[in-house]
Structure 1
C-alpha cells in the first residue's frame, strides 16, 4: 500500500485547500515576481525600521558603520534562508514538515513547535509596532482596539490562504516601497538628522551585535521560506527560488533598516515618532501606510504559524488535517497572538531584542542540520510519502543522529552566548563580540555529518 499522501486535484483559486499537503503541479501558481514580492513586502514594515534603529539608538554606532553592519549581517543570514527556500519547488511541502527527514516524524514536531512560537512572537510584535505607528499619528486612538483590529485583518487574510496573501504582498511591495523611498530621500537631505551621530565612536561590541541581529533577522525566515516557494512550479528550479528569496530579503531589509538607522539617530527613544517630527504631513502618511501594511503583512506570519501548528497536531495527536482544521487553527492562533500583543505593550524594545537573540541560538543548529542533510547527505532525494507516514517510514519516529547533533550545537554556543539573562564565559575575552552563531553552525554541521557517516558505516558492517 502506498504511503503517498492524498492530494486534491481540483484547482481552487480563492480558498486554499492543501494546508500542509504537498502542492500538486497543477496548483503551483507562484512566479518569480510573486515570490520576490512576498519577501520584499514582508520587510517593508515598522518592525524592520525598529530593528535598524537598534544600531544607532541602542548601540550608539555612527550612521555609516550602522549601515555597514546591517548590510553584512543581512547578506550573510539571507544566504542560509535562500538555500532553505531552494528546497520548496523540489519537495512541494512546508519547510518545518521536511524536518521529519532529519529528526523523525515525532522529533520534527519539537522544531515545528519552536517555529510556531517564533511566528506567534513575530505576529504579536508586528501588532504592537503597527499600533505604535497608528498612535504616532492619532495619539487619542484606543491602543487595544487598534491591536485587535489589526489582528483581525491578519486572521482574515490567513483564512483565505496563499492566493490572497500572494496578491496582497505584490501590491504592498510597490506601495510601501515608494513610501520608504520618499522617507529615505527626505531624511538624507536633513543635516540635523544625518549629523546626529557624528560624534559617535565605532565599537566592535556594537558592530558585531548589530551584525548578529542582521543574521538572525534573515535566519528567522528560514523556517518558512519553503512554505511559499513550494508554490513555484518544479520546472522553475532551485535557482529561481534561491535568487528570488535572496535578493528580495536582502534588498528590502537593508533598505528599510537603513531608514531605521536614521530614525534611531533622530529619536532613540521613539524612532517611529521621528517620521512625524521631521517629515510633517508626509511622515504622518508614511506612518499610516506602515500601520495598515503591517496588519496585512501579518497574515504571512500567521500562515506559517498555522502550518507549524498543523504539523505538530498531525504528528502528536493523529489529527486528520482538513481545510476546516486549518481555518479553526488560524482563528485560535490569531486570537492567542493578539492577546499576547495586548499583554506585551510595555517595554517592547527590550523584550524584542532578547527575543531576536534567543531565536538566533535556537535556529542555528536546526538550519545547519537541514542544509547539511539536504545538500550533502541526501542531495535533495526524499520520500515524500514516508514524511507523512505515522510510523515515520524510512525516517522513523525519532532520529537520534539529528537530535543529538542539535543538542551538541546548542551546547557549543553556550560559552559564547550574550543574552540579557546569561553571558557565556568566553564572551568577555572576545570583547563581547557575538560569535556563538558561527560556532553553533560549524559544530552542528560537522557533528551531524560525522554521525551520519558513522551510522552508515555501522549499517554496512551489519549488512555485510
Structure 2
C-alpha cells in the first residue's frame, strides 16, 4: 500500500509551558522528542490520586455492600488489570509518535475508526461531568457558593489548562503528585484509622456478585485512560525502552489507584455515599479537612484536563481540521452543560451507570488493540499507513460490535438489566470480561487468514522546516 505524505506540523513555541500547543493529530517528529519514561509515572499517579478514584472506591462498601478486606482485594484486581493496559498502550507512543486513536486506524481503518473517536469524545465529556460535579461539591463545602457559580468556576479552571496543552498538563500533574502524596497520607491516617471491617449497608447482591461488580467498576474507571495512553507518551524519544515506559505508566496508575481506591473503601464503611466531599471532611479535623478539600479540588481539576485534552484530540483524529483548542472548548462546554443537569440527580447511581457504560465499549476496544499490536507479534510501527486515506476499514469494528452484542444480555444498570444479569446477577458482573474475550478472539480469527505485517522501523517523521509544539 503506497503511503500518503505525512501531514506537516506547526512551528514550536520555544518550550514555553504557557504557550498554547499548536500540534494536532500529526506525528511528533523524531528530532522534537524529549523527556524520560519516569514522567509517565508522575502523570498517571497524579491523574489517579484524585476524588473520582476515592469515590469509586467508596462505592464498593457504601453501595455494593462489600466488607472492607474483600473490597480492597477487588479494587486491587480491577486496578491492576486495567492499569496494565494503560502501560501497554503507552509503550507504543515513543515507537510511533502519534495519538492513541490514530494508532487505532491500523486495526479499524480511517472510517471504521470513527465510532471509536466519537466514543472517546463522549467518554471525555462524561468524565468531565463526573469530575466537575466532584469539584462543585468541594467548592460548595468550602465557600458556601451556590451550584451555578461553582460550576462556572470549575469549568474555567479546567479549560485554562487543557487549552494550553501537553506541556502544561505534565507540569501540573508533576507538581500535584508531591502535594497529593502528603495530603492523602494524612487522609489515610484518619480514614484507615476510623474504618470499620463491615459494610454500612446490606450487600447489593450475593458476595460473589458484589465482588465481581467492584472489580468491573474499578477496571472500567481506569480503562477510561486506555484510549488516551499514547497521547502522553508520544513525545518521548523513540529510543525509550518499552519496558520502562510500561512500568512507569502502569506502576504510577496502579500505585495510586489501589491506594486511593482502598482509602475510599475504608471511608465508605462509615456511611452511605451521598455528597462525596462531606464523606471526606467528616473523618478529618476541621483545619485539616479544609486543606485536604482544597487539595482534592486541585487534583480533580488536574484529572479533568486529561479528559478534555484527549477528548479534543479525538475530534482531530476523526479528521476535523480545526485548531486543537476548538474541540477542547466544545468537549468542556458540553461537559459543563450536562453537569448542570446531572448535578441534581443521584450521584452514586450516575457514577455506577457511567462506569459500566464506558466499560462495555472500552473492554472490546482494548482487546482489539492488544491483539492487533502485541499478539502474536503483529504490530507494525509504519506510521505512514495510519495516514493513508485508502485504508478505510479493518476487522476491528466488526469484532467490537460483535462483542457489544454479546455483552447486552450481561448488562446491569439502573435503566436496563439484561436477561442473563436479571436471572443470575453474578453473570451480569462478567459482561466487561466477556466482551474483552469475545472481541479479542473475533479479531484474531478474522485476521488469521491475512498475512501478518512484518515489524519495520518507525517512519522518520522529521521535517526540517517544522516541529510540533511540546
- Normalised to the residue count of structure 1, the TM-score between the two structures is 0.89
Is this contact kept in 1: 2:353–2:413, CA < 8 A? yes
**Counterpart among 330, 342, 345 of residue 344 in structure 1:** 342
Q: CA–CA distance in 2 between the matches of 1:343 and 1:29?
A: 42
Given that 2:62 and 2:200 are in contact with CA atoms closer than 8 Å, whether structure 1 keeps it comes out as no
Offset from partner CA, 1:358-404 (integer Å, 9 cap, x none): 11111111111111111136633143223223x23xxx2122x2222
User: How far is 1:285 from its partner?
Assistant: 1.5
Residues 178, 448 of structure 1: CA spacing in aligned structure 2 closer, same or farther, 3 A cutoff? same
Select which of 291, 296, 310 maps to 1:290.
296
1:256-295 Cα offsets, whole Å, 9 max, x none, are 1112112222231334313322212212221121113322
Please, which of 324, 327, 345 is the counterpart of residue 325 of structure 2?
327
Q: Match for 2:426 among 428, 431, 435?
A: 431
Deviation per residue, 1:14-56 (Å, 9 max, x gap) = 3323221111223223322321111111112211111111011
User: Equivalent residue for 2:196?
Assistant: 194
The C-alpha deviation readout for 1:169-191, integer Å capped at 9, x for no partner, is 0010111121111110122333x
The count of residues paired between Structure 1 and Structure 2 equals 441
CA distance in 2, matches of 1:181, 1:293: 15
Seen in structure 2, the aligned counterparts of structure 1 residues 422 and 37 have a Cα distance that, compared at 3 Å, is: same
Q: Does 1:409 align with 2:400?
A: no
Deviations 1:160-206 (CA, angstroms, capped at 9, x unpaired): 1111110110010111121111110122333xx43563897771111
* Stretches of structure 1 lacking an aligned partner (at least 5 in a row): 458-464
Residue 345 of structure 2 is aligned to residue 300 of structure 1: no
CA deviation after TM superposition for structure 1 residue 89, in Å: 0.9
CA distance in 2, matches of 1:67, 1:367: 25
In 2, Cα distance between equivalents of 1:405 and 1:46:
34
CA distance in 2, matches of 1:226, 1:176: 24
CA contact (8 A) 2:121 2:312 kept: yes
The match for 2:8 is 6
Query: Within 2, Cα distance between the matches of 1:91 and 1:78?
Result: 21
35-44 or 129-138, which deviates more: 129-138
Q: Which residue of 1 aligns with 2:150?
A: 146
Say yes or no: does 1:365 pair with 2:364. yes
> Aligned in 2, Cα 1:231/1:178: closer, same or farther, shift over 3 Å?
same
**Aligned pair in 2 of structure 1 residues 195, 382: CA closer, same or farther (>3 Å)?**
closer
Cα RMSD, aligned residues only: 2.2
Q: Distance in 1 between matches of 2:326 and 2:431?
A: 39
Note if contact 2:410-2:430 (Cα within 8 Å) is conserved in structure 1.
yes
SS in 2 for 1:398: coil
Q: 1:259–1:451: structure 2 CA closer, same or farther, 3 Å change rule? A: same
CA distance in structure 2 between the aligned counterparts of 1:328 and 1:404, rounded to whole angstroms: 31
1:166-181 counterparts in 2 under 5 A? 166-181=170-185
Paired residue for 2:233? 229
Within-5 A mapping of 1:449-464: 449-456=444-451
Distance in structure 1 (CA, Å) of the matches to 2:94 and 2:252: 17
* SS of aligned partner of 1:106: coil
Alignment equivalent of 2:141, drawn from 136, 142, 145: 136
CA distance in 2, matches of 1:430, 1:418: 8
What is the deviation of 1:251? 0.6
Q: Deviations over 1:291-320 (max 9, x none)?
A: 133223322111001100112243xxxx3x
Q: Is the 8 A contact 1:153 1:295 kept in 2?
A: yes
TM-score normalized by the length of structure 2: 0.88
Distance 1:94 1:34 in 2: 17
Structure number having the greater helix percentage: 1
What are the ranges of 5 or more consecutive residues in structure 2 without an aligned counterpart? 453-470
1:83-118 deviation line (CA, Å, top 9, x unaligned): 111111111111012111111111112101101100
Counterparts in 2 of 1:195 and 1:430: CA distance versus 1, 3 Å: closer
| Structure 1 residue 99 corresponds to structure 2 residue 104 | yes
